[in-house]
């Protein structure tokens, strides 16, 4: 743990964003741009979701970001072969000149998000420029690194936030007034637009503004760790010194922060509740999911609280025993970290009460959607643990202190769609 802190004033240098020649689908070669996009690789977790995307269009980006073959190495080679074939066939084409890309998402219900896609100089956490807030799982980093090595490409941007409200955001607004390079609406109802900024003066304004900023990794910790690993493998200077990102100014466009829920495969709800006797207050709720989540939100304002489900009902657990927290939660971290719901869940409940290893996919799954978590628990006899989201300010404050949160503590969104623009490292 690094407790030195990363204040903006002490950052050695700020964000270094560079233009690149994007790889984009030729709309005349695919069924539709919507049909070739996908959520980020780690959101496509259901086998039926993967099959659905593969069936949507033979050129769907999921064939690159989640290749399906007999072994991981075979899948990576398959993805590399697929990428080369799509380039040779003109399905993917390279933009004629380097640019930064302005990306817009909207849902038709008032949500509007805009940001800048570019190649960002990769930096270590101790530099205080790009701040992680969660730990990573080494096997996932190894998996993503093998795929990027094989394809020699950044196949999807990770999501970073920064606090700006400066010239870079002015460029975003001016650009979004022009006709876009592409515009499409995906089946989830989100509308996506992409523009290219190639004018040297506009690019310079963006770069000058960002050079004074630091960013928070909102989504993509494993891919950022992968960028770091691959940069270390290649002598500098090289294209591997940079990685593909989407930067969103949350002064102009605040992100939504949602919780990531847990599914405990081998723990029935009845057993989970019995083991809590004397350690948490337990209240049984005979209400639908939306109302149960409202009860959870109210309880979370007063302290640590969780919803357990999987037996056809909801059970609110709150008011943890102070002695349990003293015994199980590490005392050498800031109070804001020690009191996180995810900290209490992992340190007290998973490790000491339920004895569930958090690194094992055989015991625990991380799911973004509350209803899906409950449905899976009810179908398979496990326990769904639903959490209330953490505020963005808490995440940023901890990241600036150099303190990482328990993995899968937050879900920032909306996440950028994969497949709208790619970055090849050998072009």
Peptide bond before residue 414 is cis, with ω within 30 degrees of 0: yes
Q: Are 289 and 325 in contact (CB under 8 A)?
A: no
Lowest mean pLDDT among 26-35, 39-48, 141-150, 221-230: 39-48
Can you give the pLDDT at residue 360?
Answer: 65
- Domain range summary for the chain, segments of one domain joined by +: 8-256+413-424, 260-388
> How many Å apart are CA 128 and CA 401, to the nearest integer?
10
Contact 115, 249 (CB under 8 A): yes
Q: For residues 385 and 345, is the Cβ–Cβ distance under 8 A?
A: yes
| Mean local confidence (pLDDT), 162-176 | 96
What value does the mean pLDDT take over residues 335-363?
89
User: To the nearest 10°, the Cα dihedral for 371, 360, 145, 19?
Assistant: 30
Alpha-carbon Rg for the chain in angstroms:
22
Rounded mean pLDDT, 407-412: 82
Residue 387 in tokens: 């959490």
**Cβ count near 127 (within 10 Å):** 15
Q: What is the mean pLDDT of residues 366-388?
A: 95
CB 359, CB 406: distance < 8 Å? no
C-alpha–C-alpha distance, residues 360 and 342, integer Å: 17
360 or 17: which leads in pLDDT: 17
User: What pLDDT score was predicted for residue 70?
Assistant: 79
At 7, is the pLDDT very low, low, confident or very high (cuts 50, 70, 90)? very low
Cβ pair 117, 245 in contact under 8 A:
yes
Q: How confident is the model at residue 10 (pLDDT cuts 50, 70, 90)?
A: very low
Q: Which residues pair with 244 in a beta bridge?
A: 119
User: Does the pLDDT value for residue 69 go beyond 90?
Assistant: no
Task: Map residue 172 onto helix, strand or coil.
Answer: helix
d(CA 73, CA 150): 9
Of 414, 19, 412, nearest to 221 (Cα)?
Answer: 412
Residue 207 has which token pair? 């770069």
| Nearest C-alpha neighbor of 261 from the set 356, 393, 371, 338 | 371
Q: Would you state the structure tokens that stand for residue 27, as one six-digit string? A: 């709309």
Quick one: pLDDT band at residue 108, thresholds 50, 70, 90?
A: confident
Produce one character per residue of 261-289: b if its CB has 16 or more CB atoms within 10 Å, e if not: bbbbbebebeebbeebeebbebeebeeeb
How far, rounded to the nearest angstrom, does the alpha carbon of residue 249 sit from its chain's CA centroid?
Answer: 16
Which residue has better confidence, 1 or 332? 332
Total-model pTM: 0.83
> Percent of the chain at pLDDT above 70?
95
E strands present in 163-214:
182-185, 191-197
Read off the pLDDT of residues 186-199 as tens digits, 9 standing for 90 and up. Answer: 988 999 999 999 99
């Amino acid at each position: 743990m690094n407790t030195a802190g990363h204040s903006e004033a002490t950052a050695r240098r700020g964000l270094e964003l560079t233009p690149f020649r994007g790889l984009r689908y030729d709309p005349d070669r695919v069924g539709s741009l919507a049909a070739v996009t996908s959520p980020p690789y780690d959101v496509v977790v259901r086998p039926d979701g993967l099959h659905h995307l593969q069936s949507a269009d033979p050129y769907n980006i999921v064939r690159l970001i989640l290749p399906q073959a007999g072994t991981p190495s075979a899948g990576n080679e398959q993805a590399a072969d697929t990428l080369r074939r799509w380039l040779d066939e003109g399905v993917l084409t390279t933009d004629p000149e380097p640019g930064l890309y302005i990306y817009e998402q909207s849902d038709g219900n008032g949500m509007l998000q805009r940001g800048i896609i570019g190649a960002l100089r990769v930096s270590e956490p101790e530099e205080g420029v790009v701040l992680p807030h969660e730990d990573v799982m080494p096997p996932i980093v190894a998996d993503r690194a093998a795929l990027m090595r094989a394809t020699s490409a950044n196949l999807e941007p990770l999501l970073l936030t920064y606090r700006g409200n400066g010239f870079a955001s002015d460029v975003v607004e001016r650009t979004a007034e022009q006709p876009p390079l592409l515009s499409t609406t995906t089946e989830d109802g989100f509308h996506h637009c992409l523009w290219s900024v190639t004018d040297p003066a506009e690019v310079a304004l963006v770069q000058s503004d960002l050079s004074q900023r630091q960013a928070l990794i909102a989504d993509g910790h494993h891919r950022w760790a992968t960028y770091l690993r691959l940069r270390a493998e290649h002598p500098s200077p090289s294209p591997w010194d940079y990685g593909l990102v989407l930067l969103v100014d949350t002064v102009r466009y605040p992100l939504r922060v949602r919780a990531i829920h847990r599914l405990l495969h081998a723990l029935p709800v009845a057993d989970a509740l019995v083991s809590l006797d004397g350690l948490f207050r337990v209240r049984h709720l005979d209400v639908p999911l939306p109302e149960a989540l409202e009860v959870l939100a109210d309880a979370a304002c007063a302290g640590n609280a969780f919803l357990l489900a999987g037996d056809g009902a909801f059970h609110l657990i709150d008011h943890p025993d102070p002695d349990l927290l003293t015994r199980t939660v590490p005392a050498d971290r800031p109070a804001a970290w020690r009191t996180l719901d995810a900290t209490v869940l992992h340190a007290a409940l998973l490790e000491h009460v339920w004895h569930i290893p958090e690194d094992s996919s055989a015991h625990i799954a991380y799911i973004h959607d509350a209803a899906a978590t409950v449905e899976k628990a009810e179908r398979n006899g496990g326990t769904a643990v639903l959490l209330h989201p953490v505020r963005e300010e808490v995440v940023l404050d901890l990241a600036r202190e150099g303190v990482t949160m328990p993995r899968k503590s937050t879900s920032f969104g909306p996440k950028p769609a994969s497949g709208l623009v790619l970055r090849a490292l050998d072009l």
